[in-house]
């Protein structure tokens, strides 16, 4: 006969193993958020990422400003945690709708619809 606690112990161990076996070793992101690999981003987004990695110089005056996350689509953080960068949109007369948003924890998010949706960027 199996003691009563054994099934519960097994269930707890299973939850721990499954919860810790994430295949994405990158920074935390919103649960259930769509992802995109860097190689799948538009060329202009990859160029913007390269500029971010270098620390600039950036082509748009608003690059690097604080992103407020007013839409609430990214994980909640204190003001100043996120910063946004313009991704050039060919044919657009203004900054267009594409942005990269970075978090202080190393997170990178991409939007191509002016903050209506985001995808976590996997490097």
Q: What are the extents of the domains in the chain?
A: 26-122
pLDDT at 28: 52
In the structure, what pLDDT confidence band is assigned to residue 27 with cuts at 50, 70 and 90?
low
Average pLDDT of the chain, as a whole number: 84
- Active-site annotation holder among 44, 71, 76, 84: 84
- Work out whether strand 65-66 and strand 35-37 pair parallel, antiparallel, or are unpaired: unpaired
Kindly report, residue by residue over 28-83, the tens digit of the pLDDT.
Answer: 556 689 999 999 999 999 999 999 999 999 999 999 999 999 999 999 999 999 99
- Active-site annotation holder among 71, 76, 107, 114: 114
CATH of domain 26-122: 3.10.450.30
84 is catalytic: yes
* Backbone angles phi and psi of 28, in degrees to 5: -60, 150
pLDDT at 32: 84
107 is catalytic: no
pLDDT at 26 over 50: no
pLDDT at 12 over 80: no
**DSSP notation for 43-101:** HHHHHHHHHHHHT---SSTTTTEEP--TT--SPP--TTSEEEEE---TT-SSS-S-EEE
């Amino acid at each position: 006969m199996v003691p009563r606690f054994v099934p519960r112990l097994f269930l707890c161990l299973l939850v721990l193993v499954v919860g810790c076996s994430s295949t994405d070793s990158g920074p935390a992101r919103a649960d259930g958020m769509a992802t995109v690999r860097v190689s799948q981003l538009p060329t202009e987004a990859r160029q913007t990422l390269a500029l971010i990695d270098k620390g600039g110089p950036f082509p748009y005056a608003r690059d690097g400003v604080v992103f407020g996350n007013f839409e609430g689509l990214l994980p909640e953080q204190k003001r100043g945690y996120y910063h946004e960068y313009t991704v050039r949109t060919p044919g657009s007369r203004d900054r267009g709708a594409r942005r990269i948003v970075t978090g202080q924890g190393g997170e990178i998010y991409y939007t191509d619809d002016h903050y209506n949706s985001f995808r976590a960027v996997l490097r």
